[in-house]
Structure 1
Amino acid sequence: MSEETLSNLLHENRRFEPPADLAAAANVKADAYAAAEADPEGFWAQAAERLTWDQKWDRVLDWDNPPFAKWFVGGRINAAYNCVDRHVEAGRGDRVAIHWVGEPLEDARDLTYAELKDEVCKAANALTELGVRTGDRVAIYMPMIPEAVIAMLACARIGAPHTVVFGGFSAEALASRIEDCEAKVVVTSDGGYRRGAPSPLKPAVDEARAISAKSGHAVEKVLVVRRTGQDVDWDDAVDVWWHDTVDTASAEHTPEAFDAEHPLFVMYTSGTTGKPKGILHTTGGYLVGTSWTHYEVFDLKPETDVYWCSADIGWITGHSYIVYGPLANGATEVLYEGTPDFPERGRWWDIIEQHKVTIFYTAPTAIRSFMKQGREIPDSKDLSSLRLLGSVGEPINPEAYIWYREVIGGGRTPVVDTWWQTETGMILISPLPGVTAGKPGSAMKPLPGVGAEVVNDEGVPVPNGHGGYLVLTQPWPAMLRTIWGDDQRYVDTYWARFKDQGYYFAGDGAKKDEDGDLWLLGRVDDVMNVSGHRLSTTEIESALVSHPYVAESAVVGATDPDTGQAVVAYVILREEATKTLGEDGGEGIAKVLSDHVRKEIGPIAKPRQIMIVPELPKTRSGKIMRRLLRDVAEHREVGDVTTLADSTIMDLISAGQARSTDD
């Protein structure tokens, strides 16, 4: 990005020092940075010692053939053993591993580590009986129920790489993933619950299996959990019930140790169109990276903490910080099936109050949706058990950070704003809660043992106060190894942009503020070029959210004959604002907000158009689909909406364009 980018125009002067008691007892102290810098491989070897290895490694890192890394070369390990068996063997079998909360209020179940071990062993035996062997791929397409976690660990136990497909994806998307990794077995359920009603899953698997068969790939077996009791079509040659196979299997199973570089899972990052991009993660390095970062970033005390990550296991956050990281650390965690506001708006806060959650990790889009509702509901709940809050998925606006810290955290809890990706496998940039002062909106610094930099077009690091491209300058244990079946695509996608420097290009823009702290500016694709100025959508969105009327915003660049691109903003108002101003904010709202952006950033960032909308187009994981908003802004036919949580939102936004106010 040019030096004229907006990345040096927003400033943040608020600071929150770590609480003294947390700092004194923190798992990781300030000296970790120097230790990791002095001996990176020694640092990661020490982190690896926290796990149980069947055979220790001969070499920490093989970077002889970049960008193809090998970590803990010669080591042998089993991920499932590290997540369950070793805790039971250490006498912690009675500790609750999972507090499961179903969407229907009456549904709840606790699983101890001993019980989880038995269930994983039974599932491993059942998968083996179904013909799954080491190296075979298993697709998992399930709601947020314990059997989903059990299935993942059972696959890891027998060395069968899994690919978990988010339950909101279509049959076509599921089929493309099944075909790409040639899945032998699919694990699913009859359905799950969504906003009070059973939502079918098995029919999509049936359709995906038919699509795959036409393409020449036959799924051999479908293992089905009975969750909702819905009627499903049944093929006796292929379909088997979980309760007939897993529940009746032996709970005795001896895990086999696999090479550290044995494939653990494939996670697909593309949507429903185009060739899916299967990110391959292997066992040893991934488990070291996720367990260590979960321990350091969340300051986990497994004897006393109750941890809750609100992600779905269909995304990388669920893999790394619901399944493998927390369970490898012996954590007690919450697993929740439903949505944040059903059957009532305070459902999440009820769960925190009931289970006395101490660590809570969620996405900024969820935080902003609660901001829209106001603080009355969370204020009525007892959230005093919380001692640490986390943010993941996209940059968090400073005002959303402050609201999260003050309203949910009672003004006393540190917020760890984490940056990482499907490809990185583990958190790479984040405050350390016992070391780093919190700065609203900033992910702060790379974690110990991680190399990250902001560079210009030539790959040269930019000075403080400037923006550019975020790159990773050295290998890290949980890094992706390749794109499944396509090494060249892996090289071209992630390593070609800064080949000469040997940097991994994350695809994100970032800035260094005056202190050298890092601010993520969103995908480079979301940067606009207005009259030759490179503007970050993230910073304009943050400026809008800093206005007391605004709960959430999304900004896109639309083609403009005069300026090349112009700023178009979509805004959701807070409920208290709509009570005062009306649902659409009333006449003059666009000028008020536009002037606010001008004051906060400068005249170049002033939106050409501001639309007040009831909701933004989001996937079920909470990602805002800005390409659809660009379609509306440029008066094009709206593109594919199949991955949206609510596809009708685009109809409302398109209809509302006629009454939007241009400024």
Structure 2
Amino acid sequence: MNTCLARGTRFEYTALHRFLRFYGHADIDALNATAREEPSRFWAEVEDALGLTWHRRYHTVCDLSHGMQWPRWFAGGELDLYDNLVGRTARETPDQPALIWEGDDGDQRRFSYRELDDAARRLSTALARLGVCHGERIAMYLPMVPETAVVFLAAARLGAIVLPLFSGYGADAVANRLNDSEAMVMICADGYLRRGKRVDMLGEARAAAAAAPALAHLLVVPRLGTPWAPQQSGQWREWDYRSLVAASEPDMEPAVNGTATPLLILYTSGTTGRPKGVVHTHAGFPIKAAQDMLMCFDLNRGDRLMWITDMGWMMGPWLVFGGLLRGATLVFFEGTPDHPTPDRIWQLVERHQLTHLGLSPTLARLLMAAGEAGLPQAGQLDSLRVFGSTGEPWNEAPWQWLFDTVGQRNCPIINYSGGTEIGGGILGCFVGLPQKPCGFAGPIPGMLADVVDTDGGSLLDQGTDDEVGELVLRAPWPGMAHGFWHDGARYLDTYWSRFADLWVHGDWARVDADGHWFIQGRSDDTLKIAGKRVGPAEYESALVTHPDVVEAVAIGVPDPVKGEAAMCFVTTPKTTAEADAPWTDRERELIAHVAVRVGKALAPAGVHRVSDLPRTRNGKILRRVVRAVWLGTDPGDLGSLENPDAVDALHRYRESLQTPA
């Protein structure tokens, strides 16, 4: 597979190149060697390059006296994270745009750094009057509205902890997280717009609050302006968010906290058990997010960044903390990027003069399937320098479509893979340097990544090219999870129990002969057919090269001969579905199509056409849900689903196959 080099920004003009020259590193390989051999020097250079100001400077960059599972970063230090994020920029360049918001209906709101600073200081005062203090938990159940950034900032001032919740959660999912965290305050919206339809949030929030005894206050943001009266409850009191903030004077006191002060609890959904509350700290998550934005994305002061996400997913807080620490302008979008027309996302780029746009491979596939309607018009992407992508593996056809047809080979696709527990990325690409379709240029500096075999031996040290193994990390980093909320044992069991002193991330990865990395999917998704390990992405990539397939997902099912077999599910263009021959004919064609690409011995046992596939709001298809429905097992937490109807349809389809004709 040949490398590609975008014609846009040259490497010598990037922030990463300036970093290398300023701190005396010959190239990225030399920088990685410093991170490996002199980690304290490397991370001190990172925080210096980010321009952090300290109330009291740290005495140790990384204290490992409690083991590498529990590092203490910038030990002994104290900082005003709020001032680093907003305060100093509001003083230096008060009118610089900080945040631009566009609603599903096209409404817009804009905040300068001065205005964002004032709003956050007022909310800080209001929350303090309600009794919120250091260590208290604030649940944030909001769509992508400007108030989300204000809540993060106000909580950072108080040393309180925010738990951002997916705006599509129902009452039960919200209540579970309220009770796990024992949140004192929840900030919700009256609702939001989704594809032109009004979605109620206040009703769900009240139902969740009724099941959460620790909750004392419910603040309601009037996104839709729906008339409402504060509900009388002996348990919690309701407040109009904007009236409460407007009546509060801005808190002008310094907001100094220790480096290990908890900042966020980011909940991740699992297949079993209660959701995991990943804890991040003041000197962890923001530093890692901003470092990745500097080194991978070349995000600089005044750039404009939008990511299609939700604040309940890691990329939402990542956008806020990393973007503000880099002095950028954040662009929030409430709606769906293909509504009311498939080119809505390109309209957003032009209207808000975006320099950086983050989207999922699934969105690229959907826009590609829309044909001419999914393409940008001439000049719409003139401001854009960088595409970002995360959340799932790419297939080559949509990657090439985005790079060649949409971006005209001018914008690199910064493929980015990490996770909630990472606080950012493990692997990435770099602006101005070659990349391979669907791959990663390598580990992000400071991330000591490796690929190991079943015994924990390094496949890279063995000189084994293209062999799939477990992705692991051999050293801690600032954005690393500070454990799970009130569940340290589960944290250790999840990441540290398999190999001594190795973080096992749960992804399959391989490195080719040229040193480019590829993610092959989650290791618990991997199929083992007749003794051969195969990533589901291989089947999915093969299927979407067929003109009659829009999306695909592959799962493993028990097989009496091979032990396990691949079962695939696809969506097709509507025109194809309506005019199709009997599906059995098309199924045989698709099985043969895949067999040519993955090998006859690995051909799927079946290819089923479905109306939709279960996905999260950021476009990630949930294989575990498809597998659970197909095998009749518990699918686990479904609160993150964007389209629960897809699960119901899959159930009905499975039942129809089991019902005798």
Match among 217, 224, 229 for residue 220 of structure 2: 224
Supply the distance in 1 between the matched residues of 2:640 and 2:113 (Cα, whole angstroms). 35
Deviation at 1:27, TM superposition (A): 1.1
What residue number does 1:614 align with?
611
1:187-586 pair list within 5 angstroms: 187-213=187-213, 218-232=214-228, 234-236=230-232, 238-270=237-269, 274-303=273-302, 305-320=303-318, 322-380=319-377, 382-435=380-433, 437-462=434-459, 463-499=464-500, 502-574=501-573, 578-579=575-576, 582=579
- Return the alpha-carbon distance in structure 2 between the equivalents of residues 438 and 190 of structure 1: 44
- Give the aligned partner of residue 20 of structure 2: none
Q: Is the 8 A contact 1:36 1:42 kept in 2?
A: no
* Alignment partners' CA distance in 1, 2:441 and 2:266: 27
Distance 2:8 2:383 in 1: 17
Q: Alpha-carbon deviation of 1:632?
A: 4.7
Cα offset for 1:207?
1.3
The residue type paired with residue 369 of structure 2 is K
What is the CA–CA distance in structure 2 between the aligned matches of 1:467 and 1:272, rounded to whole Å? 24
- Note closer, same or farther for the CA distance 1:540–1:397 as it changes in structure 2 (3 Å cut): same
Q: 3-state SS of the aligned residue for 2:564?
A: strand
* AA partner of residue 614 (structure 2): P
- Tell me if the contact between 1:203 and 1:232 (Cα under 8 Å) persists in the aligned partners: no
Moved more, 516-525 or 613-622: 613-622
Alpha-carbon distance in structure 1 between the residues aligned to 2:495 and 2:577:
49
Runs of 5+ in structure 2 lacking a partner?
18-25
After superposition, the C-alpha distances for 1:278-336 in whole angstroms (9 at most, x for unaligned) are: 10101112222111111121111323x3211111111111111x210001111012100
Using the alignment, how far apart are the partners of 1:550 and 1:489 within structure 2?
A: 40
1:390–1:415 Cα contact (<8 Å) kept: yes
Q: Give the alignment of 1:105-124 within 5 angstroms.
A: 105=106, 107-124=107-124
Amino acid across the alignment from 1:77: L
Question: CA offsets per residue over residues 541-595 of structure 1, 9 Å max, x none?
Answer: 11212333332110011122222221111112346xx359836786632233222
513-522 or 348-357, larger mean C-alpha shift:
513-522
Residues 26-62 of structure 1 deviation map (CA, whole Å, 9 limit, x = unaligned): 1113724413422322121111122222221111011
Note if contact 1:137-1:183 (Cα within 8 Å) is conserved in structure 2.
Answer: yes
Residues in 1 aligned to 2:147 and 2:227: alpha-carbon distance in whole angstroms? 20
Q: Does 1:26 align with 2:14?
A: yes
Whether 1:64 aligns to 2:65 is yes
User: What is aligned with 2:55?
Assistant: 54
Query: Following TM superposition, by how much is the alpha carbon of 1:110 offset from its aligned partner in structure 2, in angstroms?
Result: 1.1
Deviation at 1:209, TM superposition (A): 1.6
Moved more, 637-646 or 187-196: 637-646
- Percent same amino acid among aligned pairs? 34
Tell me how many residue pairs correspond in the alignment. 635
* Matched-pair contact (CA < 8 Å) for 1:179–1:212: yes
Q: Is the 8 A contact 1:125 1:253 kept in 2?
A: no
1:252 Cα deviation from its structure 2 partner: 4.3
Match of 2:23 in 1: none
CA distance in 2 between partners of 1:88 and 1:553 (Å): 47
**Matches of 2:439 and 2:612 in 1, distance apart?**
26
Q: Which residue of 2 aligns with 1:5?
A: none
Does residue 647 (structure 1) correspond to residue 615 (structure 2)? The answer is no
What RMSD, in angstroms, separates the aligned Cα atoms of the two structures?
2.2
Aligned equivalents of 2:292 and 2:580: distance in 1? 43
Give the Å deviation of 1:232: 4.3
Query: Are the equivalent residues in 2 in contact too, given 1:125–1:250 (CA < 8 A)?
Result: yes
Aligned partners of 1:158 and 1:256 also within 8 Å: yes
Alpha-carbon distance in structure 1 between the residues aligned to 2:83 and 2:582: 56
Aligned twin of 1:7: none
State the alpha-carbon separation in 1 of the partners of residues 190 and 605 from structure 2.
48
Partner in structure 2 of residue 42 of structure 1: 41
Q: Which letter does structure 2 place at the counterpart of 1:592? A: E
Question: Highest relative contact order (Cα 8 Å, sep 6+), 1 or 2?
Answer: 1
* 2:182 aligned with 1:185: no
Deviation digits for residues 129-188 of structure 1 (CA, Å, limit 9, x no counterpart):
111011111111011100111111110111101111111112111111111111111111
Shift of 1:649: 1.9
Q: Does 1:77 align with 2:79?
A: yes
Between the aligned partners of 1:480 and 1:224, the Cα distance in structure 2 is 30
Asked whether the equivalents of residues 384 and 410 of structure 1 are also in contact (C-alpha less than 8 Å), the reply is no
Maintained 8 Å contact 2:308/2:618: no
Residue of structure 1 in register with 2:3 after alignment: 15
Q: Which residue of 1 aligns with 2:152?
A: 152
Return the TM-score normalized by structure 2. 0.92
Question: How far 1:607 sits from its partner (Å)?
Answer: 1.1
Look up the match of 1:6.
Answer: none
- The Cα shift of 1:78 comes to 2.4
Normalised to the residue count of structure 1, the TM-score between the two structures is 0.91
**CA 1:604 to 1:77, structure 2 compared with 1: closer, same or farther past 3 Å?**
farther
